[in-house]
A and B are shown apart, each in its own frame.
Chain A
Amino acid sequence: MAREISTHKIGGLSPFELAEPRSLGEAIALLDAREPAVRPMGGGTALMLMMKAGVLRPTRLVNLRRLGLDRLEVDASGALRAGAMVTLRALEVSPVVSKGWPIITRTLRRLSNVRVRNVATVGGHIAHGDPHMDLPPLLSALGATVTIAGPRGERNARVEDLYAGYLETTLARDELITQLVVPPMARRRAAYLKCTTRSADDWPALGMAVVLEGARASIVVSAATDKPTRLAAAEEILAGKTLTDALVAQAAKAAQEIQIDGDLHGSAAYKKHLIGVYLRRAVHEARDARH
């Protein structure tokens, strides 16, 4: 996950076309499967950062704000449905979310800052693919899915299947996330622990999401590799058993066997150690959570 950081990543934006389609079909038609310089735009924060850093020089940005994708509701089955253009802030302050999915509310509180959350959208956040982000591992552990629209129609995908590598998703360049669907919590209990190693407010050195459902654990870690990673070995150890300290310690050890990348937040060896600590802490927190 080594990132090339050049000395010239400063400043200016170069001219491009900004399109604001009024229908989903129009939006998709404006995208181009083969052209990385054409991008959909949600809140635009991640895009603007990449443009200013000079790592993205778009020829066209397709703004999605007029597509009516900003509904936030619970459907008949009790699942949360958030349109792709729902802002992270709207999600954070929604009483519906805090009632049904308080873990999401809690996680959002430390995700970047209020101004970013005011503008960043659910779809944009999920589609970005930076392995340090907070929602992808949590949504993966919760079994969330997204609806994806493209020139050949609609499809659904699990959030956890969206990530191929660093800033690489399995979305085609002419596809758009239109909606996030999060299954009801039911009797599940969840925890997301964000470990920062520099200032308190920072990208995480490690993000650990644990969702416990009866005898099953769903555990996904972020910021340790080039994409959010399910800790399957640890899940297997915990499956169907009572969560004693010894068992959790065993699971933590197994979790540390994944291939870890070090970065500016911590070396691979340190992150390996943190995985063990945070898995244990997240399991305990989930175990003791009301929801």
Chain B
Amino acid sequence: MKRATQGIETNQVGRSVPRLESWLKVTGRAEYVHNLRLPGMLYGKIYRSSVAHGRIKRIDTDAARAMPGVHSVVTGAEVKTVVPDPYYGPAFHDQPVLALDKVRYVGEPVAVVLASDPHVAEEAVHLISAEYEELPAVYDEVEAVTSKAIVHEALKPAGTFPDLKHLKGVKNTNVALDFRLRRGDAAKAMAKAERVFEHRFRTQQVMHTPLEPLVSVAESTEDTLTIHTASQSPSFVRIEIARLLGWAENRVRVRVPFLGGGFGAKLYIKLEALVAVLSLLAKRPVKISLSMEEQFFTITKHASTFRIKSGVSGGRLVARECAVWWNGGAYADIGPRVTQKSGFTAPGPYDVQDVSIDSYALYTNLPPAGALRGFGIPQLVWAYESHTDMIARELGVDPVAFRRRNLLREGRPQATGTVMRDAAIEKVLERTASLIEWEKPLERGSGPVRRGRGIALGFKACIANTTSLAAVSVNADGSCTVYVSTVDMGQGSDTAMAQIAAEVLALPTEAVTVVHSDTDVTPFDMATLGSRSLFHTGNAVKLAAEDARDQLAGLRKELGLPADCAVADVFRKKYGMRAGSVLGVGNFIPPYTPPDENGQTDNATPFWMVGACGVELEVDTETGHVRVLRLVNVADVGTPINPRIVETQLSGASIMQLGFTLFEKMQFDAEGQLRNASLAEYKIPGLLDVPAEIVNEAVVAEQRTGPFGAKGVGETATFAVSPAIANAVHDAVGVRLTSLPLSAEAVFEALQRK
């Protein structure tokens, strides 16, 4: 079939191949670590802190240890016998395997009971008690900047990210990162602007709630460790565990089958260090399988406050000042990355050359925040697209027309100074406006139920710089095996990688096997996150397949065989029987220029993601209920490898974001206790929440540096849903909400205040 771009014919890429693992998933036979049982395995149940901030005075485990059936009880003290410096984290080595000296949030792991019967372990946890000297706590991100309640005595950057080095040993602060970007002179341009607009926006803490809760299993020998884990980053896990133990990397093996959902929750170190240590202490395999409730105490998404100020002259944005405070919770996890990497797109997809951005990562005494689908972008777009709409309305200009006038176009520099390439911002906006019928008059109604329409547009820079390796083996019979450490968590990566390899090797996709992440077998991959895998791993797979293909071509030449000689025959000629294989290797790292002290760089990212959302909805003015009638998701995903999977990724991401927009929220009391840690009280979207009409479309576009013109899509439809809805609510009933979620009560209250 003809590729929509690139002017080539393809057989595998561009085809909506059904997922390779379909049979396994519909018959319930897909492998998840959730199901794993090993002989002699012990189950670990975690005893957690009941205070938000406190010095540990005593942990009483005697009664638990004495309970029949309990194998052992482990606290931070025992952990230190295996790992003397047991602090981990991708950005800061700030998180202890089990609490030492202090606890920093309600729910922090303090001890673990091991037993071969998980019910016994659970019972024994109730027999543990701890005493804390309570310390003042801080929960709000802006307050954390100046609060006397200091979460960490001193900052401990990991040394993995150069821009954090200057923070080493800094004391008396909750600011884990202060990212700044200066382009041009925003203050000066602002002072000269005709009109200045300033607004403040907030988002709430939410949780990914993958239906397979976080789970890891470790089994050890004297000097080797195998960790079976539901993780999106097996290579990182290996490196970090090896570092903690002081072992060579090749003595740590990390295996990942399918994930029952990830969404960013299953990244870096979650349970892996804990099970590794426990297994080394117990000399038996150890499994820790969290309950749905426990996930809320493990990893979440940053709440945020965003103050955005724009100068406008003649309908053009002439300056933007952004200040963003990210609520990172008690441990940094990948928060500093969110702060920086998302921080630099804070001004939005608009052509503004006088920009200042200050983006702060804050420690607070809440469960840690990390990566969640969108990686900070949805919070930013929530602010800048609500703000942009408000400006347009204030000026009496059509919101789409206003955006058009200010759009960041191909060839123009973004806030980092990087010139835009292959980001179909204009096309995405226009297509969305068209699909939502923006030009057509809308009957808003005059009764208690009013209709409204809204649009919003966001973009994201793919994280840089990161590397992926891949290996592709062509076997003696011509079949193909792909080895990658990219993890299929439902986004279809196995199928996509198979399609790419199959295209290069002129095989049907269904004839390709993809080996699941196993660090003993599959080569290094930075991680499966931030929609990076199709581009990075996909390019690596393409290179590896090309390498294999070239080796085969070389073999044919060497053996004097024609170019169309079947692979099986080539091997038979070479070895006299069916034997042998070729192994192609691909190593991909895109070019990147790190930013200077003003956040300026000519190459900030290997590719941009662009996503817009158009919404038509109803507001019940008597109760505040919002009902989305029509949801339109448009994206630039380059040229899709698998159009059907692309469509379902757009759809799924937008429905997930709908939950974050309308009702999801982690609710804490004044003592930092989470009140709704369960699916009974933390509601996620179900079938009855899905809008009657959802349209998903990828515009015709090309990522020239991507494999067959493709790039990532997993997060794109999360960007603009929230502000599109808020803009539509405003369109319907004239009230503007600046805080998520847009609950019925919040909408109702806003209507009362009008």
Residues of A that sit less than 8 Å from B by CB: 5-14, 54, 195, 197-203, 264, 266-267, 270, 273-274, 277
Contact = CB atoms under 8 A, between A and B. Distances in A.
A266 B663 CA distance: 12
B88 interface: no
Nearest to B676: A264
Interface in B559-596: none
A7 B676 contact: no
Contacts of A11: 45, 118-119, 122, 291
Given A199-B689, A202-B683, A264-B675, A8 B48 contact: yes
Interface string B38-51: 00000001001110
A3 B691 CA distance: 33
Interface stretch (B21-29, B710-718, B743-751): B743-751
A198 B685 contact: no
Interface in B6-42: none
B681 A201 contact: no
A197 B749 CA distance: 14
Contacts of A273: 748
A276 to B, nearest CB: 9
B655 to A, nearest CB: 11
**Chain B, interface residues (CB within 8 Å), range:** 35 or more
Contacts of A13: 119
B659 interface: yes
B623 A274 contact: yes
A267 B745 contact: yes
Interface string B675-697: 11110110111111100000000
A264 B118 CA distance: 31
B297 A7 contact: yes
Nearest to A276: B622
B683 A199 contact: yes
Interface of B: 45, 48-50, 106-107, 118-119, 121-123, 125-126, 291, 293-294, 297, 622-623, 625, 659, 663, 667, 673-678, 680-681, 683-689, 743-745, 748-749
A8 B678 CA distance: 12
A9 B679 CA distance: 13
- Main SS of chain B's interface residues? loop
B667 A264 contact: yes
B686 A201 contact: yes
B689 A200 contact: yes
Contacts of B622: 277
Lowest 3 CB-CB distances: which A-B pairs, in order? A12-B122, A200-B688, A199-B683
Most A Cβ at <10 Å: residue of B625, B683, B685, B743: B683
21 contacts: A5-B681, A7-B106, A7-B677, A9-B293, A10-B293, A10-B294, A12-B118, A12-B119, A13-B119, A197-B744, A197-B745, A198-B683, A199-B659, A200-B688, A201-B686, A264-B675, A264-B681, A270-B748, A273-B748, A277-B622, A277-B623
B690 to A, nearest CB: 9
A198 B743 contact: yes
Given A10-B293, A201-B688, A273-B748, A5 B675 contact: yes
A152 to B, nearest CB: 37
B663 A199 contact: yes
Contacts of B659: 199
Contacts of A7: 48-50, 106-107, 297, 673-674, 677
A235 to B, nearest CB: 22
A199 B744 contact: no
A97 B479 CA distance: 62
Contacts, number: 81
A14 B123 contact: yes
Nearest to A5: B675
B686 A197 contact: no
A10 B291 contact: yes
A273 B688 CA distance: 25
A202 B123 CA distance: 30
Nearest to B107: A7
Contacts of A8: 48, 125-126
A11 B49 CA distance: 17
Contacts of A199: 659, 663, 683-686, 688-689
Contacts of A270: 745, 748-749
Contacts of A203: 680
Pick from A6, A9, A10, A267 the residue with the most CB of B within 10 Å.
Answer: A10
B336 to A, nearest CB: 27
Contacts of B126: 8, 54
Nearest to A12: B122
Contacts of A267: 745
Given A197-B744, A198-B743, 13 more contacts: A5-B673, A5-B676, A7-B48, A7-B50, A8-B48, A10-B293, A12-B118, A14-B119, A199-B663, A199-B689, A201-B688, A201-B689, A264-B676
Nearest to A202: B683
A195 B620 CA distance: 12
A40 B140 CA distance: 46
Contacts of A277: 622-623
Nearest to B45: A11
A7 B622 CA distance: 36
A27 B687 CA distance: 41
A198 B206 CA distance: 14
Nearest to B625: A197
A69 B622 CA distance: 44
A267 to B, nearest CB: 7
Nearest to A277: B622
Nearest to A270: B745
A185 to B, nearest CB: 28
A57 B745 CA distance: 37
Contacts of B675: 5, 264
B686 A200 contact: yes
Nearest to B296: A7
B351 to A, nearest CB: 39
A270 B119 CA distance: 41
Contacts of B688: 199-201
A202 B745 CA distance: 15
A6 B121 CA distance: 18
Which of B45, B106, B675 is the most central at the interface, judged by chain A CB atoms within 10 Å of its CB? Answer: B675
B122 A10 contact: yes
Contact of B623 (A12, A195, A200): A195
A273 B297 CA distance: 34
A270 B747 CA distance: 11
Nearest to B745: A270
Contacts of A54: 126
A198 B49 CA distance: 29
A197 B675 CA distance: 17
Nearest to B665: A198
A202 B678 CA distance: 13
Contacts of B684: 199
A195 B743 CA distance: 13
A274 to B, nearest CB: 6
Contacts of B667: 264
Nearest to B741: A198
A51 B680 CA distance: 15
A195 B622 CA distance: 12
B84 to A, nearest CB: 29
Contacts of B745: 197, 266-267, 270
A252 B687 CA distance: 33
A203 B291 CA distance: 21
A239 to B, nearest CB: 25
A68 B745 CA distance: 46
B688 to A, nearest CB: 4
A5 B669 CA distance: 10
A267 B687 CA distance: 26
Contacts of B663: 197-199
A16 to B, nearest CB: 12
A193 B622 CA distance: 15
Nearest to B448: A277
Contacts of B49: 7
A195 B625 CA distance: 10
A195 B681 CA distance: 15
Contacts of A274: 623
